[in-house]
Amino acid sequence: MNLLNNQAYTLWFNWLADKIMEWKDAKPLNKDLRNCVKAMNEIGMFTNSLRTELEIITKRYNLMRSRKNTEIQDLKKQIETITIELKKYDMHYIDMPDETTYCRTCDKETDGDTYCSKNCYDYDLE
């Protein structure tokens, strides 16, 4: 409920309560007016409890959301620190050749192959 709705509700509820009290004072023995006053009391109390419950739920929701956001940020920081720590131990075993190898024909350095090119391979076969 926004501020305008709240003010309109309060205005009309108070006007109705005042009008019923005015009628009750004019006719104090009227049972229907007495019951109407009790009904207005109940309606007011119920509306008040709904508003209070809505405020509590809204505050809890906002609190949980802010906790979630801070937890996410903390976890992101932890991930960053862990990845930095892991980079210290970063080994490129797959990318590195086991040992330096050279072409059998022309003695160029190769990446673990016996020949550097198809030409050297063909030349060696002749």
* Per-residue pLDDT tens digits of the chain, which is 126 residues long: 688 888 999 899 999 989 988 988 888 888 988 899 899 899 989 999 999 999 999 999 999 999 999 999 999 999 999 998 888 877 666 666 567 788 888 888 887 778 888 888 887 766
The total of other beta-carbon atoms located within 10 Å of residue 120's CB is 19
Assigned token pair, 59? 């505050």
Q: How far apart are CA 39 and CA 104, in angstroms?
A: 104
Angle (CA) 81-85-88 rounded to 5° is 150
pTM above 0.95, yes or no: no
Q: List 102's β-bridge partners, or say none.
A: 109
Task: Give the separation between CA 83 and CA 13, rounded to whole angstroms.
Answer: 62
